[in-house]
Structure 1
């Protein structure tokens, strides 16, 4: 199976932003325009995450999500501030194919994973993991990498699979926005632990970084942000490079 190349939009409405280590946000464009751009380039999917909704404890801006969804004819995952079954329902109604959740399930109510999976199906549930490495383990973080979740990433990823999550978005607080390569050790451990798809993000600085991640960790998908936002490469460039190097999961 060919690895999915996914464009990831970190959003602080009304702008797509790019943090480093989940901090120091820099405006990079309009969500709808960038979504259309990456769709036209051949993205397999698009992830839209409002990275300040939970942090600011504000309502989800569903109209922003709908505007992006209207530009796309590929699978679209949206998240940020999701804390109820009603939020899941509204996200899907606005055009999302999958809903991404993190803060609420780590800090308050993991049971919502079970409930949402039963109502909407596991394929609609993506759990975002913001991982930070300590000396001998990785800890889950929430609220855009600011709040410690008191959960071991490797234990948590098994739990969310058992609860019915259909996919994992794995991000690294340590490598995010640095463009110096992924945390391949973490990615490999998570991919090998679960039987659900794992999308790995945080760290792509070159085509070689993407190739190395795929060859070693074998993720289901790779989510790219900085490389695309700063026009260093296009989705087409990534796919052509991987194809020429016969890289598949």
Structure 2
């Protein structure tokens, strides 16, 4: 049976691991290779890695770093950042990455989705939508690390993405990013209503109860977090952490309810 996934999300900036708040002021928190080694020991479900420089600077993905990360990892890896062509995606898959996350490119080059899906399968193509609340209500998709508005409505866009062959969607709340004050549940609820493919949510987790609340409401879902898994305590000391297998099993046991209408 499919189970909810609890996923650390790591941001790579200038080859280092950073954490942001509302997509601003990246704070250095360590070496990404070392972080992967630690998460190996903690037996995480999956690890998401996002290079926040590549698309903004219009440069190729850092294949050398990707290869080093993949070689160290004993868990499924999702990589995003700078992928604009099928050839780039295939090269990254060849380095050992299981999933490719597309963000800016799905807005600027949507035809890339079916092209990659045809080569590697829909299950390996992930769409990442960075979403922000509009001043007068509603939500809008942003690209380039939240710097560029697109005018795109995320609720209609996710339906199109599913139709084009995306195998999973990651919804990242810019408003909640790094705040550690809980997920944007109205956003998650509305997105979940629109699609039947797997959904992962990101932005706002401050504790395991926040993760449990999403699982309780939506069943089989991916719940990702950044700050929660790289900081510890009220003073946010840098410490890579993740629930033990027993803690994770108990969290899922307490909150997971089977929803027959949810695929992933």
TM-score by length of 1: 0.94
Could you tell me which of 235, 240, 243 is aligned with 2:243? Answer: 235
Q: Stretches of 4+ moved more than 4 A in 1?
A: none
How big is the alpha-carbon RMSD for the aligned residues of Structure 1 and Structure 2?
1.6
Aligned pairs, number: 248
Question: CA contact under 8 A between 1:38 and 1:235: conserved in structure 2?
Answer: no
User: Aligned runs of 1:32-111 on 2, under 5 Å?
Assistant: 32-106=33-107, 108-111=108-111
**1:33-67 Cα distance to aligned partner (Å, 9 max, x none):** 11121121121101111012111222210111111
Question: Closer, same or farther in 2 for the Cα pair 1:248/1:67, shift >3 Å?
Answer: farther
- Structure 1: where are the runs of 5+ without partners? none
Question: CA contact under 8 A between 2:45 and 2:75: conserved in structure 1?
Answer: yes
TM-score by length of 2: 0.89
Question: Closer, same or farther in 2 for the Cα pair 1:150/1:243, shift >3 Å?
Answer: closer
* Distance in 2 of aligned mates of 1:38 and 1:96: 16
User: Aligned runs of 1:1-249 on 2, under 5 Å?
Assistant: 1-106=2-107, 108-134=108-134, 135-218=136-219, 220-231=221-232, 233-236=241-244, 239-243=248-252, 245-248=254-257
**1:108-152 Cα distance to aligned partner (Å, 9 max, x none):** 210110111111110110000000111332111101111112210
**1:74-108 Cα distance to aligned partner (Å, 9 max, x none):** 211101011111111111011111100110221x2
* Distance in 1 of aligned mates of 2:83 and 2:48: 15
Note the C-alpha offset of 1:219. 5.4
Question: CA contact under 8 A between 1:2 and 1:248: conserved in structure 2?
Answer: no
SS in 1 for 2:109: coil
